Chains A and B, each alone.
Chain A
Amino acid sequence: MNILYDERLDGPLPEVNKGELLKALQHALPDLDILWREDELKPYECDGLSAYRTTPMLVALPRRLEQVQTLLKLCHQNNVPVVARGAGTGLSGGALPLEKGLLLVMARFNSILHIDPAARIARVQPGVRNLAISQAAAPFGLYYAPDPSSQIACSIGGNVAENAGGVHCLKYGLTVHNVLKIEVLTIEGERLTLGSEALDSAGFDLLALFTGSEGLLGIITEVTVKLLPKPQVAKVLLGGFDSVEKAGRAVAAIIAAGIIPGGLEMMDNLAIRAAEDFIHAGYPVDAEAILLCELDGVEADVHDDCQRVREVMTAAGATEVRQAQDEAERVRFWAGRKNAFPAIGRLSPDYYCMDGTIPRRELPAVLQGISRLGEEYGLRVANVFHAGDGNMHPLILFDANQPGELHRAEALGGKILELCVKVGGSITGEHGVGREKINQMCAQFNSDELLLFHAVKAAFDPQGLLNPGKNIPTLHRCAEFGAMHIHAGQLPFPELERF
């Protein structure tokens, strides 16, 4: 099943006359930068999910709020679909353009408007990069906690739209826990302020609803985030294990000991070998699994917790436990994990990164299931895992130049996500549904739940002009998908052999 917009399954899109729309925009907004020539549009044909590309009809690059407002009103009046895009680093195709739609690029809104160290907040435009906020706050000893791995490039507007995570979520939360206020433009060009500089606001919690709504409810034009004092110290322990089960037990035991690590990451043998080969982080390449446990906070507490974690890992059967002796070694331990994706990229021409979450206790069973599915589909899978919060990133190794392998990798990916749902997890922990996981939404939610999502959408965008086809599938798409896939763990024809 192709995931590009399919009007037969995703609903008809309004017919838009490109020439007329361009003329109308140029007339209403003479100073707005609009790209319309084929060669100019090409760079915008995909986001971080580069396997899927669609050339947008037009690309608008506004610099001022009024431009966005006028543009939205015009699109609303003329029934033109609008796809918003920030830095374009998203991994689920949330900013995949539409042939019949306008791509609204918010990247030029890149000013940090205000940092208030005493109130510990930063007010920024949506195109500001995630890391730039922490850099601007650093002179005050403060930082912005959520740190998706793309933080050097991804923009805060996109972070809010996707409810981005990172490796420190268990202790410091997701984007939704770290944003105080957003300014939004509706498709009708109305301004809404959701949240406030106070810790809560009157009315329904629309800030929570809009966070992670993937550009389907409104366009984010400003973001106010919480800043935290930088932890005094951070220490990392590395534990090696001869089985994934033991590593999983160690994770549970660390939590049971009342410790909430700043980061708790697991890698399986294939990922360990790939990372070690690439980065020379000092990982034990014979281990079936390693745990990286970062403890941060006030020095005395961190010291005590390191001791506790060391004991817990040993009791759980670790073959070795090493604490990074200095900052250089700590950075090296993390470099292996943070470069796990490119490291795996060296093993295989292509890889496909999944993003399912599971209750942690299901880890051994799910890893076994993944390995079994990998054999079934004839593809290798490496596993890196935000073990603290149950967010898995299985990496499927394949070669797109081999006929059928991309298709097989996608099918395997879909099966892995359905396995996550079956054990009580989710198809996406932090990358978002976008276009990539639109079919798997049919496995996670039933049709009544999907209809309610569409009802929520209708409260803000009844014509369905904002980012159509993303995040929530039509029932029609699910009917088609259900006809050929497992639904909620039930095979349609259990008696048939499957390969």
Chain B
Amino acid sequence: MADFDAANALLDQVDAARANATPLKIQGGNSKAFLGREVAGEVLDTRAHRGIVQYDPTELVVTVRAGTPLSELLAALDDAGQMLPCEPPSFADSATVGGMIAAGLSGPRRPWSGSVRDFVLGTRVITGLGQHLRFGGEVMKNVAGYDLSRLMAGSFGCLGVLTEVSLKVLPKPRQCLSIRLDIDCVRALSKLAEWGQQPLPISAACHDGQSLYLRLEGGEGSVTAAHQRLGGEPLDSVFWRDLNEQRLSFFDEGLPLWRLSLPNNLGPLELPGEQLIDWAGAQRWVKSESTEIHALAQSFGGHATCFTHGATGSPFQPLAPTLLRYHRQLKAQLDPQGLFNPGRMYAEV
């Protein structure tokens, strides 16, 4: 498919939805449809609105239409020796840039590089009033007005139809080396807390119950020095893609899969099911039929999301009543008719 500006068609569909008060189910490549609650609505497909609008590698900024395949964006960056440091997962070849922003999921590098939202510089959004507006921009620093662009990241399309996004990108590291250390989880987490306070070029850290998997990224000198210091067995870097895309055997079908986002440095945790530790402990995957995962995550100071479609009626962590009220008030202001993905995150929003 060729690059195409289909913004007007998207606007027309939103206008029709407004006129008929029909909710819209915003959809890109449907690669993350398993996340969140069911949405009843007419499908608004963003994929005709595609293409890289502007990319100048020396500016470290790329502007891209929401319906562009994520793989196409990543390939363009790769050609220029650059990358999206937050390493968003695709989950399917069909994944789009818009869906990547809406889901706001980041990969193994996230604790060191920042999240999807951290790399958002600007957006264009169709609002619930049927207006196509622009927020933020293509510059690194911009504090004019409220930061609606970063608000869009992770909002699952509930606040507007994202049509275009400008992202900060960075050069790929000069050197990348992955290693496996056969140490147990207790020792691994304690070492990670220690290493975290030192200028070591760690850019991914996962423990699967048996081994600690580390990725070192930086200049030749720092990576070599860190490798000499840490030792370990060489590891094929494809491990990180398999982890990110949930292709490791841990992620094979079975019990409901939960993602726990937790404070740094909690140490080993007893969880009601098999677990896989990522983000040096700040993200833990658990396979469990327990109905107490949200409460458990909250007791640790974090939150949980169910990644298995249909396993629970409320996949996202319930919000405190006051916070929920402000979510509803914000939704009511930006999408007064409740047209965009109603109930995708929470029944009330």
- Decide if B55 is an interface residue (CB 8 Å cutoff): no
Across the interface, name the chain A residue whose C-beta is closest to B118: A177
Contact A297 B140 (CB under 8 A): no
**Which of these, A212, A256, A300, contacts B143 with CB under 8 Å?**
A212
User: How far, in angstroms, from A441 to B58 measured CA to CA in the complex?
Assistant: 28
Tell me whether A300 and B222 are in contact in the complex, defined as CB-CB below 8 angstroms, given that A197-B263, A199-B282, A448-B131 are known contacts. Answer: yes
User: How far, in angstroms, from A202 to B36 measured CA to CA in the complex?
Assistant: 12
User: How far, in angstroms, from A453 to B147 measured CA to CA in the complex?
Assistant: 9
Query: Which A270-293 residues have a C-beta within 8 angstroms of B?
Result: none
Contact A433 B261 (CB under 8 A): no
Tell me whether A198 and B263 are in contact in the complex, defined as CB-CB below 8 angstroms, given that A259-B171, A424-B138 are known contacts. Answer: yes
Tell me whether A212 and B140 are in contact in the complex, defined as CB-CB below 8 angstroms, given that A202-B316, A255-B58 are known contacts. Answer: no
Tell me whether A428 and B144 are in contact in the complex, defined as CB-CB below 8 angstroms, given that A199-B261, A205-B153 are known contacts. Answer: yes
| Interface residues on chain B, number (Cβ under 8 Å) | 86
**Which of these, B127, B196, B323, contacts A118 with CB under 8 Å?**
B196
Across the interface, name the chain B residue whose C-beta is closest to A254: B58
Tell me whether A429 and B145 are in contact in the complex, defined as CB-CB below 8 angstroms, given that A177-B114, A205-B153 are known contacts. Answer: no
- Decide if B170 is an interface residue (CB 8 Å cutoff): yes
User: How far, in angstroms, from A391 to B137 measured CA to CA in the complex?
Assistant: 13
Query: A249-279 vs B: 1/0 string, CB under 8 Å?
Result: 0001101101110000000000000000000
User: How far, in angstroms, from A163 to B140 measured CA to CA in the complex?
Assistant: 13
User: How far, in angstroms, from A428 to B143 measured CA to CA in the complex?
Assistant: 6
B contact residues around A162 at 8 Å (CB): 143
Which of A225-233, A317-325, A373-381, A408-416 contacts its partner?
Answer: A225-233
- Decide if A38 is an interface residue (CB 8 Å cutoff): no
B contact residues around A446 at 8 Å (CB): 133
Which of B38-46, B65-73, B328-336 contacts its partner?
Answer: B328-336
User: How far, in angstroms, from A457 to B329 measured CA to CA in the complex?
Assistant: 10
Contact B159 A458 (CB under 8 A): no
CB distance from B24 to the nearest CB of A (A): 18
Contact B329 A460 (CB under 8 A): yes
B contact residues around A391 at 8 Å (CB): 139-141
- Decide if B308 is an interface residue (CB 8 Å cutoff): no
- Decide if A170 is an interface residue (CB 8 Å cutoff): yes
Query: B142-177 vs A: 1/0 string, CB under 8 Å?
Result: 111111101101110011000000000011101000
Query: Which A211-249 residues have a C-beta within 8 angstroms of B?
Result: 211-213, 217, 229-232
Contact A360 B150 (CB under 8 A): no
- Decide if B322 is an interface residue (CB 8 Å cutoff): yes
User: How far, in angstroms, from A449 to B118 measured CA to CA in the complex?
Assistant: 22
Query: A407-442 vs B: 1/0 string, CB under 8 Å?
Result: 000000000000000001111111111000100010
| Interface residues on chain A, number (Cβ under 8 Å) | 96
Contact B144 A301 (CB under 8 A): no
- Decide if B219 is an interface residue (CB 8 Å cutoff): yes
**Which of these, A121, A300, A456, contacts B220 with CB under 8 Å?**
A300
Contact A449 B135 (CB under 8 A): yes
Contact B221 A304 (CB under 8 A): yes
Q: Max chain A CB contacts within 10 Å: which of B57, B143, B199?
A: B143
A contact residues around B196 at 8 Å (CB): 118, 120, 229
A contact residues around B153 at 8 Å (CB): 205, 208
A contact residues around B218 at 8 Å (CB): 297-298, 301
10 residue pairs A–B, Cβ–Cβ below 8 Å: A141-B197, A199-B261, A202-B316, A209-B147, A255-B171, A359-B59, A391-B140, A424-B137, A430-B143, A433-B143
Residues of chain A whose beta carbon lies under 8 Å from any beta carbon of chain B: 116-121, 140-142, 162-163, 165, 169-170, 173-174, 176-177, 186, 190-193, 196-206, 208-209, 211-213, 217, 229-232, 252-253, 255-256, 258-260, 297-301, 303-305, 357-361, 386, 388-391, 424-433, 437, 441, 444-446, 448-449, 452-453, 455-460, 471-472
